[in-house]
Structure 1
Amino acid sequence: MRFELDADQRDFAASLDSLLAASDTVAVARAWAEGDHEPGLELWGRLAELGVTGLATEDTTVEACLAFEALGRHAVPGPWVESAAVLPLALGRDLSGTIATVAVPPRVPYALDADVAAEVFVLHDGRLHTATVGDRVGSVDRSRHLFRVTPGEPVGTLELRGGLGLGVLATSAQLLGAGERLLSDSVAYVKQRRQFGREIGSFQAVKHRLADVRIALDFARPLLHGAAVTTERKYVSAAKVACSDAAYLAARTALQVHGAIGYTAELDLSLWLTKVRALRNAWGSPPFHRAAVLEALGAG
């Protein structure tokens, strides 16, 4: 089967990418990490006007994946997975006018950005409950503010098809987008950095490393889109594994080709390096999803 985006999907992805490219998302992410949410909330409003927050309720999972890939590529902060992908279907209502977040222990033990969310929920004993926000927990990604929560009143049920599955897909798409950005920045850097009188991108070893990343990302994308079409658990888990591995390879390669400067927080590359590290285990780690695929295949 050959999967290709139609013209409307390509136009939507292009318009979203254009908006984010003009929004200085690096500055937005850095401000969010420091606790200044105003630029991020302003960007949230513009994306809501474009329809990003309503994609889940419209059952347009492919378009949702395109949107979340763009969010990952531009390091947009905020509880997008929770508020725009998981909760609208879990609650059965449109959340485009507000920001909400949810914790789903044990795979998602903390509520992301509960300090800016108007509604906070937690999955407890198989049901969705309102939640009381507790202490903040540190994250390797400084733009991800995690909070402990305790359950309150039950409000509904969180189904795999409507909430958890789309949460995994959205996180996978963010990883894919972050991996693409890391690869793009790495390619640009190796064309500029000179060593032994030559650009380091001309060295065969560097070319091979970047080519491996390109192949991994290209293999992950059809898995993601295929999972978005079927929404079956085994395909969703396979997409999370592929996107996690591809993005992690992109992060390790980017760090290697950038050398010592790649370790500095001042370099914008750090925004994507830390985001990949955090998202890799968000909504289920690669070992968890590999086990889900094996189980679905009858391999125990």
Structure 2
Amino acid sequence: MLDERWSEEVEEIGGTLRKVLAKQCSSEQVRAAEASNDGLSPAVAEHLSAFGLDDLEAEPDLFARIAYELGHALAPTAYVETIPVLALTGRSNVALAFSGPVPASVAQVAVIRSQGVYLEALCGDARRTTAGDLLVEHQRGHVDGQWLGDSDLADRLSRYAALVDAARMTGAGQALLQYGLGYAKEREQFGKIIGSYQGVANRLANASVLLDAAELLVRKAAFTARADVGGDGAPSAAFAIMVRAKAIEAARSVATTVHQTFGGNGFAMEYDVQLYSRRLRSWANRGERPGERLADLARSMLDPGKRDQVRLLWHHDQGIPLPRWAREADKV
């Protein structure tokens, strides 16, 4: 049964991970990692390994929550980029090099060829992004790599990547929004708290609505991956498109809104706004732009025949009972 909230198990693990990351990802520690040679934090890598993430076997909702928490903490790690291959093949420290750069720290990448998905050693020159991390545009090797799977696996990996990318952006966006709200409640201008001005409050409220919608889509997309609802281990094609597009929209909105809330202080390095916004923009600009695929999906929704083929779009069409929160609200 679909429940738009995280399950109790996922909440427990996510909450524990947040406590671990809180000790390793203060703004000072994130800044220190950004200034390092590879833009990563050895301490974070050590704690994630001790947490058991390198060998984790889990459902998509848990991996999505992990990506959400890593984004929320701005964790200096390449783990999110390796989740799809880990989740679907069991191989760790392998990133997708399907449609964009990958972290320079990964040992291997998965690439698409005519026969399917292959594993290759990462090859290429690293460049530092505005977010402080090092990325590599993988140069395909001349020697055949190791075959991982057919074109079906490539499609599933791409859809899974959309889920965890969206989850990370949503987590970081929620953290940035809370940072902006805290500032709006304390900063005074013209003798009044700036959060009391309608123009400021309305923009923050609109950003909050977009982020809540993105987080809801993350959980719904993860739900469509489950075998017990007909999924194949990765989000359905329609929800993979929607979840990434919505997360990008929400991330850009909250970054712009919080910068406006801070005014000139938002561009000052001593404030944390730029730590979040630089990463959100970097993550949003990686990979395929969602506009064309989102437009194709929108056109298909206008065709009743194609629309009815989209799984789990409407609860009542699928005979899914009301989610737990709705039933509990009815009792109040």
Query: Normalising TM by the smaller chain, what interval?
Result: 0.7 to 0.9
* Aligned length, in residue pairs: 287
**Counterpart in the other structure of 2:182:** 188
User: Which of 105, 130, 139 is the matching residue for 1:140?
Assistant: 130
Alignment of 1:243-282 (within 5 A): 243-282=247-286
Retained in 2: the 8 A contact 1:122–1:149?
no
2:53 equivalent to 1:65 = no
Go from structure 1 to structure 2 and tell me whether the alpha carbon gap of 1:239 and 1:194 turns closer, same or farther (over 3 Å shift).
Answer: same
Alignment of 1:25-64 (within 5 A): 25-36=26-37, 40-55=41-56, 57-58=57-58, 60-64=59-63
Retained in 2: the 8 A contact 1:179–1:251?
yes
Go from structure 1 to structure 2 and tell me whether the alpha carbon gap of 1:180 and 1:45 turns closer, same or farther (over 3 Å shift).
Answer: same
What displacement does 1:180 show? 0.3
* Percent of residue pairs bearing the same amino acid type: 23
Retained in 2: the 8 A contact 1:180–1:217?
yes
Moved more, 232-241 or 279-288: 279-288
Q: Could you list the per-position Cα deviations for residues 163-203 of structure 1 after superposition, in whole angstroms to 9, with x for gaps in the alignment?
A: 21111111100110111011101001111211001110111
**Counterpart in the other structure of 1:87:** 85
Q: Secondary structure at the match of 2:41?
A: helix
Q: Which letter maps to 2:77?
A: G
CA distance in 1, matches of 2:199, 2:241: 32
CA distance in 2, matches of 1:74, 1:177: 8
Q: Secondary structure at the match of 2:126?
A: strand
CA distance in 2, matches of 1:100, 1:28: 25
Q: Could you list the per-position Cα deviations for residues 228-286 of structure 1 after superposition, in whole angstroms to 9, with x for gaps in the alignment?
A: 11110111111111111111111000100011111123322211101111111324323
Retained in 2: the 8 A contact 1:237–1:292?
no
Alignment of 1:1-300 (within 5 A): 2-36=3-37, 40-55=41-56, 57-58=57-58, 60-83=59-82, 85-89=83-87, 92-95=89-92, 99-104=93-98, 107-108=99-100, 110-112=101-103, 114=104, 116-125=105-114, 126-142=116-132, 144-152=133-141, 153-155=144-146, 156-157=148-149, 159-160=153-154, 162-230=156-224, 231-291=235-295, 293-294=297-298, 297=301
Go from structure 1 to structure 2 and tell me whether the alpha carbon gap of 1:135 and 1:290 turns closer, same or farther (over 3 Å shift).
Answer: same
**Unaligned stretches of 5+ residues in structure 1:** none
Q: Which letter maps to 2:244?
A: K
Go from structure 1 to structure 2 and tell me whether the alpha carbon gap of 1:24 and 1:141 turns closer, same or farther (over 3 Å shift).
Answer: closer
Go from structure 1 to structure 2 and tell me whether the alpha carbon gap of 1:127 and 1:221 turns closer, same or farther (over 3 Å shift).
Answer: same
Larger radius of gyration between Structure 1 and Structure 2: 2
Go from structure 1 to structure 2 and tell me whether the alpha carbon gap of 1:128 and 1:292 turns closer, same or farther (over 3 Å shift).
Answer: farther
**Unaligned stretches of 5+ residues in structure 2:** 225-234, 307-332
What displacement does 1:26 show? 2.7
What displacement does 1:132 show? 4.6
Retained in 2: the 8 A contact 1:223–1:239?
yes
CA distance in 2, matches of 1:288, 1:173: 21
CA distance in 1, matches of 2:39, 2:200: 40
CA distance in 2, matches of 1:124, 1:295: 30
Go from structure 1 to structure 2 and tell me whether the alpha carbon gap of 1:47 and 1:132 turns closer, same or farther (over 3 Å shift).
Answer: closer
**Counterpart in the other structure of 2:316:** none
CA distance in 1, matches of 2:130, 2:37: 18
Retained in 2: the 8 A contact 1:124–1:151?
no
CA distance in 1, matches of 2:79, 2:296: 25
Q: Could you list the per-position Cα deviations for residues 103-142 of structure 1 after superposition, in whole angstroms to 9, with x for gaps in the alignment?
A: 21xx32x222x2x223344334443241452222342322
What displacement does 1:288 show? 4.0
TM normalised by structure 1 equals 0.86
CA distance in 2, matches of 1:289, 1:80: 26
TM normalised by structure 2 equals 0.78
Retained in 1: the 8 A contact 2:22–2:73?
yes
Q: Which letter maps to 1:279?
A: W
What displacement does 1:289 show? 4.1
Go from structure 1 to structure 2 and tell me whether the alpha carbon gap of 1:53 and 1:168 turns closer, same or farther (over 3 Å shift).
Answer: farther
